[in-house]
Structure 1
Amino acid sequence: NRETNEQLDKENPRWYMKHLGSIAGVKERHIAEDDETALDMAYKACKKLLEKNSGVEIDGIIFCTSSGDYITPPNACILHKMLKLPDEVLAFDFNLACSGYIYGLMLAWALINLGKAKNILLVNSDTHSRYVNRQDRSTRVLFSDGAAVSLVTNSSSENIIDIKCCTSGSGYDKFIIPAGGCRMPRSEKTGIPKKDNSGNIRTLEDIHMDGMGILAFVSSKVPPHINKVLKENNMTLDDIDLFIFHQASKVILDSLTKRLSIDPKKVYSNLEKTGNTVSSSIPIALKDALDEKRVSEGDLVLLSGFGAGLSWGSAIIRI
């Protein structure tokens, strides 16, 4: 389902979507059906990919999601059943949000380099709209539901030049869903809506995002991290043909572009038409960039994700 700024404006006239939309950089979002889960979306993506790559023997599934179908078992195991894969295939979930693609790519790369797998399905799928309060403009204008699957093989992994991942757990509460886990089980109290100083309404079962705190974190941590990754590989910003950052918001993308002193033409964004799809935002943007011929064979691309945890990571790949 498409959810446009015009629809939000009619529903919430006081949100001034023309102004808010320009700041967020999102014109439309894609929301999963009520009975559609991250696993359902992932299965559709995997079927499409495997139809194009028939004959490839999958020996691993890495599923990144923070909106699993069940507390247990992992989505990866159910996806294994749905795809009718043999018992020898390893399958597991891990819970990360906006840095999840980079972390997943690192895991797949490591397993292949260890000789434990040759063809891994890296799945990134989230239905974060389930955790967005419809009266919270700080999150509702940004988040979309989305899924992506990448086939990481022993031959394609040679195009991964380097990956580096980092964590700052002291900022865990900058992006958090307080209730629903073992620390704070759901109850009548956790479902009570409360209004904050900005007029946003949310319950303890919804996403609580410190927007300014996230912006400060990304602006201070990510640019030096990217420069360090490049330096460790004897590269500079000029060597990179295209930068694909997690599609968080226009404010964050603009901040990174400015702080790194990158030519805006070298920074790809599909945020307007996709919204923030959490862990699938980078692979979706990479596919769109390839489809639009923004990069060609041999080009160097830097991917960088950042978000809940707080966590961040970057990868240098060759197309």
Structure 2
Amino acid sequence: MALSTLHNVRFAGMASCVPRRILDNLLDCPPQLRSERERLVRNIGIRNRRICHEWQCFSDLAFDAANRLLEDLGWQRNEIDALIVISQSPDYPMPSTAIILQDRLGLPQTAIAFDVNLGCSGYPFGLHLLGSMISASGIKKGLILVGDKCASVQDPLFSDAGTATALEFDSQAEPMHFNLNSDGSGHRAIMLPVGGHREPFSAEHLIPTKDENGFKHWPNALHLDGPAVLSFSTQKVPPAVVQLIDYAGIKKSDIDYFIFHQANRMINETIRKKLDLSTEKTPTTLHDFGNTSGASLPITITAQLRESLMNSNSKLLLSGFGIGLSWGSCILNTDKSTVFSELVIS
């Protein structure tokens, strides 16, 4: 069932980490592409992006975010019962990145640790997954590490980030409500077609082609069907949000902030207008951080809402959507004791 409610789960805290290196979509491009990039920046709303150093992995960013969050929470590492990593940027094809981070973070061997292969929709799915484990079993405290290493110098859309979120058992916690959906018939809209068992990597995938601007494109690069993604996002997300609000038995005005995956300005503005939401209730980080995949919800909360949330009790609606195709939303509550760490620069 797409709609569900979790009880006895408290949203304890969040930390986000981005690389130090910044790419400017206007300045860090060939001069002959400047006018095209100016138009693109106006349309997609992304000026600056964060990109990892060559030696950095997503797991390095997630590691720094998790360390900061555990320190700010005051949690002991031997208290952590579960570690879930949600990313499409693993350190290795095997073993799972979560297993490696369990050791790096000094978590106990009794901690459950595993990976989930989800992208832009991953954050609400991760909250539901860990929340279900806490609500239904003896797990008391757990971490979700979400993000990706997906930035490149040529692509003006994507940015690198890693985040950490802490959930804990609390019999007095307000319920969390979820609406999670999947549509595999659209899996080709966002796809990395080469490198798996269906099409193994071979020497021919090393031969690029050049476009009219002289940029090289490799057969094993990410395939993104822009019109299909636009149609999917703007048609599926608004009704799913309305359905979740109705299911939770609240009104739209009861939500303090609506935080959407930071896809691009055109998609996000269409969703906002379809739901008749004010810009004050829909914070954005597209201009300064770009599309950070599954990390975009916590990045937006950390960068735009941290001070506000630390000083009030708030009801948030979070909505992620993208590769799969998949889309998921959740409604959760934060209070003045919820920890929102300062943005970590790595």
Same fold (TM over 0.5): yes
1:158 aligned counterpart, secondary structure: coil
How big is the shift at 1:12? 5.2
2:195 aligned counterpart, secondary structure: coil
Please name the residue that 2:119 is paired with.
97
Which amino acid is the alignment partner of residue 45 of structure 2? Answer: G
2:147 aligned counterpart, secondary structure: strand
2:94 pairs with one of 68, 72, 95: 72
1:190 aligned counterpart, secondary structure: helix
72-81 or 256-265: which moved more? 256-265
2:38 pairs with one of 2, 7, 18: 18
Which amino acid is the alignment partner of residue 54 of structure 1? Answer: G
CA contact under 8 A between 1:227 and 1:236: conserved in structure 2? no
- 1:222–1:89 Cα change, 3 Å: same
CA contact under 8 A between 1:237 and 1:262: conserved in structure 2? no
1:36 pairs with one of 37, 56, 61: 56
Distance 1:55 1:152 in 2: 12
Q: How does 1:260-271 map to 2 (within 5 A)?
A: 260-271=275-286
Q: Deviations over 1:67-93 (max 9, x none)?
A: 101111100000011112211100000
Which amino acid is the alignment partner of residue 185 of structure 1? Answer: P
How big is the shift at 1:156? 9.5
Q: Deviations over 1:181-224 (max 9, x none)?
A: 11111112223324579997532211110111101001111111
How big is the shift at 1:53? 2.2
- 1:308–1:199 Cα change, 3 Å: farther
- 1:15–1:194 Cα change, 3 Å: farther
Distance 2:105 2:52 in 1: 21
Which amino acid is the alignment partner of residue 90 of structure 1? Answer: I
- TM-score (normalizing by structure 1): 0.92
1:45 pairs with one of 65, 72, 76: 65
Q: Structure 1 unaligned runs (5+)?
A: none
How big is the shift at 1:160? 4.7
Please name the residue that 2:203 is paired with.
188
2:332 aligned counterpart, secondary structure: strand
Q: Deviations over 1:2-38 (max 9, x none)?
A: 0012333446525622211111111100000001011
CA contact under 8 A between 1:9 and 1:16: conserved in structure 2? no
283-292 or 31-40: which moved more? 283-292
What number of residue pairs does the alignment pair up? 312
Please name the residue that 2:226 is paired with.
211
How big is the shift at 1:246? 0.4
CA contact under 8 A between 1:242 and 1:302: conserved in structure 2? yes
172-181 or 230-239: which moved more? 230-239
- 1:40–1:295 Cα change, 3 Å: closer
Please name the residue that 1:318 is paired with.
333
302-311 or 175-184: which moved more? 175-184
CA contact under 8 A between 1:241 and 1:295: conserved in structure 2? no
CA contact under 8 A between 2:317 and 2:332: conserved in structure 1? yes
Residue 167 of structure 2 is aligned to residue 167 of structure 1:
no
Please name the residue that 1:293 is paired with.
308
Distance 1:148 1:244 in 2: 16
Residue 261 of structure 2 is aligned to residue 255 of structure 1:
no
1:293 aligned counterpart, secondary structure: helix
Distance 2:216 2:238 in 1: 33
CA RMSD of aligned residues (A): 2.1
Residue 173 of structure 2 is aligned to residue 158 of structure 1:
yes
CA contact under 8 A between 2:26 and 2:34: conserved in structure 1? no
- 1:209–1:315 Cα change, 3 Å: same
- 1:160–1:270 Cα change, 3 Å: farther
- 1:198–1:226 Cα change, 3 Å: farther
41-50 or 163-172: which moved more? 41-50
CA contact under 8 A between 1:24 and 1:141: conserved in structure 2? no
Please name the residue that 2:244 is paired with.
229
252-261 or 280-289: which moved more? 280-289
4-13 or 244-253: which moved more? 4-13
Distance 1:82 1:174 in 2: 35
99-108 or 147-156: which moved more? 147-156
Q: Comparing both chains, which one has the higher relative contact order based on Cα–Cα distances under 8 Å and sequence gaps of 6 or more?
A: 2
How big is the shift at 1:296? 4.8
Please name the residue that 1:125 is paired with.
147
1:59 pairs with one of 75, 81, 92: 81
Distance 2:40 2:173 in 1: 42
